[in-house]
Amino acid sequence: MAKFHQSYEVCTCKHVSLAEIKHAIIDRNADTIEKIGEFTDAGTSCKCCQDSSTDIGAEKMELYLTQILNKFKKDI
């Protein structure tokens, strides 16, 4: 995930960046996809950014909320 910049837009529907999602997980203790959605709005529209299994877009996302959650939840 290191190749993704903090300003990388993970959720293109709601324009939510990697930094905002990290902040929700690390500083606000979001430990589920639902909570990330509550705090940032990410993943609350088409849901393509939540996980590869919910990605129904023609062009697949490069980074999913589940990946970010798994990476940063461990550090809490």
What is the contact surface with ligand FES in residues (CB under 6 A)? 11-14, 42-49
Closer to ligand FES at the Cβ: 13 or 73? 13
| Single-letter amino acid code for the residue at 18 | L
Q: Which is nearer to ligand FES, 9 or 76 (CB)?
A: 9
Nearest one of 39, 59, 76 to 16, comparing CA atoms: 39
For the CB of residue 73, give the shortest distance to ligand FES in the complex, in Å: 19
Q: How far is the CB of 28 from ligand FES (least distance, A)?
A: 18
